[in-house]
């Protein structure tokens, strides 16, 4: 049994990565010599649900090769370039890849719901309406965090460009640093586990709003999604039994994380996903780790991607994916 867990710190530029891999889609199968799937996972909440499977593979109990990566661009290059068979990535990125590769990547499960929260060091924010006239620090300009914030604001009758100031930073760590020693009231939108990190560093930080609940309230009850499991279409077509076994094992891993948070947190620290087990355990409930497949996955993803498309078509690859984007697990 072979298991490689590599934490990559450098990222390819997005445009360069896509330009390269989209011109060279004739690589060999990524399946390793033992026939196990090669899996890429982004460091963060999308990796937490996979932690038991990663550990079992490391101990030779499961036949997978897993690479833990630091940036979406690395996953894009490896998944589309056929180095990886499956990947845990943002839901909208799966749609982008499906469109740009003409159906060579498919959605097979949802693994993470919303992870965004409005946090503050004062007590001025009790509702979305309280953001009027304020400055909100955030990350993800041009990506789904910005779309989520703008959508929720707009649906609550707030003009994101006129009624408040949204100041974007390049990294969540920058926003977290502002919150750590804030001398006055600071408002920010942060993802888990950074919400937990800043809360433990500064006891004045409070979670003011759960953006998942705010999204659900204005979207007709449709869940805010973050992460998914994307699998190369060629692997699904030629090795469906391996794909279905992998999805079953993934679901078991998620169940372990949800039922045994202390044990999961220790593994999350050991694999360097979160620096401290105490932080990981406290953050886990807010990470909304889940496993949803089949027709419910399809329904939730369609609703979510439709909202993103209406806000900015580029966030889903220019158009909504076709029916064959959704892989329905054999058990469904």
pLDDT in tens, the chain (332 residues): 434 444 333 333 333 334 333 333 323 345 554 568 999 998 888 899 999 999 999 998 988 999 999 888 898 899 989 999 999 999 999 999 999 999 999 999 999 999 999 999 988 999 999 999 999 999 988 888 999 999 999 999 999 999 999 999 988 888 888 888 776 789 999 999 999 999 998 888 999 999 999 999 999 878 999 999 999 999 999 999 999 999 999 999 999 999 999 999 999 999 999 989 999 999 999 999 999 999 999 999 999 999 999 988 999 999 999 999 999 976 65
What pairing do the DSSP bridges indicate for beta strands 38-42 and 86-90? parallel
Strand partners, 292: 110
Please state the pTM of the whole predicted model. 0.85
* Residue 43: count of CB within 10 angstroms of its CB: 18
| 292 contact partners, CB below 8 Å, separation of at least 6 | 109, 110, 300
Ordered by start, the domain boundaries in the chain are 14-113+224-325, 116-218
CB 106 within 8 Å of CB 324: yes
DSSP string, 160-207: TTTSSEEEE-S-HHHHHHHHHT-SS--EEEEETTHHHHHHHH-TT-EE
For residue 167, list its beta bridge partners.
Answer: 137
CATH of the domain spanning 14-113+224-325: 3.40.190.10
Q: What is the pLDDT of residue 279?
A: 94
- Residue identified by tokens 């054999």 is 330
Q: Which of 216, 217, 194 is nearest to 205 (CA)?
A: 194
What is the pLDDT, as a whole number, of residue 203?
Answer: 87
CATH code: domain 116-218 is 3.40.190.10
- Dist CA 262 CA 284 (whole Å): 10
Q: What local confidence, expressed as pLDDT, does residue 330 receive?
A: 63
pLDDT at residue 32, as a whole number: 54
How many Å apart are CA 150 and CA 168, to the nearest integer? 13
Task: For residue 262, give the H/E element and its range.
Answer: helix 261-270
CA-to-CA distance for 158 and 238, rounded, in angstroms? 49
Asked if the domains 14-113+224-325 and 116-218 are classified in one and the same CATH topology, the answer is yes
CA atoms within 13 A on the CB side of 202: 22
């Amino acid at each position: 049994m072979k298991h490689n867990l590599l934490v990559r710190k450098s990222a390819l530029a997005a445009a360069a990565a896509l330009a390269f891999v989209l011109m060279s889609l004739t690589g060999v199968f990524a399946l390793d010599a033992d026939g196990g799937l090669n899996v890429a996972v982004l460091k963060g909440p999308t990796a937490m649900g996979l932690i038991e499977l990663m550990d079992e593979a490391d101990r030779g109990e499961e036949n997978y090769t897993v690479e833990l990566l630091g940036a979406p661009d690395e996953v894009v290059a490896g998944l589309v370039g056929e180095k990886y068979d499956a990947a845990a990535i943002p839901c909208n990125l799966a749609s982008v890849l499906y469109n740009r590769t003409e159906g060579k990547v498919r959605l097979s499960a949802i693994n993470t719901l919303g992870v965004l929260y409005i946090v503050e060091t004062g007590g001025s924010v009790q509702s979305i309406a309280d953001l009027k006239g304020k400055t909100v620090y955030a990350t993800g300009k041009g990506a789904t965090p910005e779309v989520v914030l703008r959508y929720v604001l707009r649906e609550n009758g707030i003009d994101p460009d006129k009624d408040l100031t949204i100041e974007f930073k390049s990294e969540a760590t920058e926003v977290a640093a502002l919150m750590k020693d804030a001398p006055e009231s600071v408002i920010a939108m942060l993802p888990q586990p950074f919400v937990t990190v800043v809360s433990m560093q500064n006891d004045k930080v409070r979670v003011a709003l759960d953006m998942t609940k705010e999204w659900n309230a204005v979207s007709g009850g449709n869940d805010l999604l973050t992460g998914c499991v994307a699998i190369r279409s060629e692997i699904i077509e030629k090795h469906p039994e391996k794909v279905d076994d992998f999805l079953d094992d993934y679901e078991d891993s998620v169940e372990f994380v949800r039922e045994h948070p202390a044990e999961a947190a220790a593994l999350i620290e050991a694999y360097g996903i979160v620096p401290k087990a105490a932080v990981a355990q406290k953050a886990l409930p807010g990470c909304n780790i889940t496993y949803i497949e089949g027709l419910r996955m399809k329904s939730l993803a369609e609703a979510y991607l439709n909202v993103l498309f209406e806000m900015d078509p580029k966030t889903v690859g220019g158009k909504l994916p076709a029916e064959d984007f959704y892989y329905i697990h054999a058990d469904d």
